[in-house]
């Protein structure tokens, strides 16, 4: 049986990695379900959603020239027509912004700027954050230098 893009098949999970799961399809053909294609919500660990020997329904999303097969579990779910997939929730990033649109952010996850250069709703813009960081950093470096120079007798002083 030839594997075609768009086909929905059943397969058995034969391997789990940190980046996805390998699924054995009919005829000994194996494909990969990438971690981003396992569920509609954020998947931190594949093992939280799948176990070895699980039988799963998958959709073939691509077949490479070298025979690699890309699969999706979340696209294989039958939804009523007109019902979109639930929004994917992501964990907050270190900068405090989630990826994606909405919430006063552009598509790159950066806050929108008004014509005045300030971010909306009183949130500091990237430039404001960067200038505050540089100022704090310079203050910390200068106080560190003052403290260490006093203990070692100054910079470049000869030691006896």
How far is the C-alpha of 64 from the C-alpha of 5, rounded, in Å? 10
17 and 54 assigned to the same domain:
yes
How many domains in the chain? 2
The per-residue pLDDT of the chain, averaged, comes to 78
Instruction: Name the band, by pLDDT with cuts 50, 70 and 90, for residue 153.
Output: low
Domain-embedded: residue 18: yes
Domain-embedded: residue 113: yes
Q: What are phi and psi of 133, to 5 degrees?
A: -60, -45
Domain-embedded: residue 50: yes
63 and 109 assigned to the same domain:
no
Domain-embedded: residue 12: yes
Beta strands in the chain (DSSP E): 8-17, 20-24, 30-34, 55-63, 69-72
Domain-embedded: residue 158: no
Provide the pairing of β-strand 30-34 with 55-63.
Answer: unpaired
Instruction: Name the band, by pLDDT with cuts 50, 70 and 90, for residue 70.
Output: very high
Please report the pLDDT score of residue 111 as a whole number.
Answer: 55
pLDDT at residue 128 above 70?
yes
Among 76, 93, 113, where does a domain finish?
76
Could you report the per-residue pLDDT of 86-101, keeping only the tens digit for each? 654 555 555 544 444 4
Domain-embedded: residue 141: yes
Domain-embedded: residue 49: yes
Could you report the per-residue pLDDT of 99-116, keeping only the tens digit for each? 444 455 555 555 555 555
What count of other Cβ atoms lies within 10 Å of the Cβ of residue 129?
15
70 and 108 assigned to the same domain:
no
53 and 113 assigned to the same domain:
no
Domain-embedded: residue 99: no
**Domain residue limits at 45:** 8-76
14 and 70 assigned to the same domain:
yes
Q: What is the CATH number of the domain that holds 71?
A: 2.40.50.140
């Amino acid at each position: 049986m030839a594997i075609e893009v768009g086909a929905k098949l059943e397969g058995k999970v034969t391997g789990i990695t940190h980046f996805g799961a390998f699924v054995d399809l009919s005829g000994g053909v194996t494909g990969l379900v990438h971690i981003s294609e396992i569920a509609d919500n954020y998947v931190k660990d594949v093992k939280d959603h799948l176990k070895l020997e699980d039988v799963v329904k998958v959709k073939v999303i691509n077949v490479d020239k070298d025979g690699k097969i890309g699969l999706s579990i979340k696209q294989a779910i039958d939804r009523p027509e007109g019902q979109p997939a639930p929004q994917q929730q992501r964990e907050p990033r270190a900068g405090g912004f989630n990826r994606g649109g909405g919430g006063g952010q552009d598509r790159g996850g950066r806050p929108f700027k008004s014509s005045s250069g300030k971010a909306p709703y009183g949130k500091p813009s990237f430039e404001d954050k960067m200038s505050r960081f540089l100022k704090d950093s310079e203050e910390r470096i200068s106080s560190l230098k003052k403290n260490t120079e006093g203990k070692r007798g100054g910079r470049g002083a000869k030691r006896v």
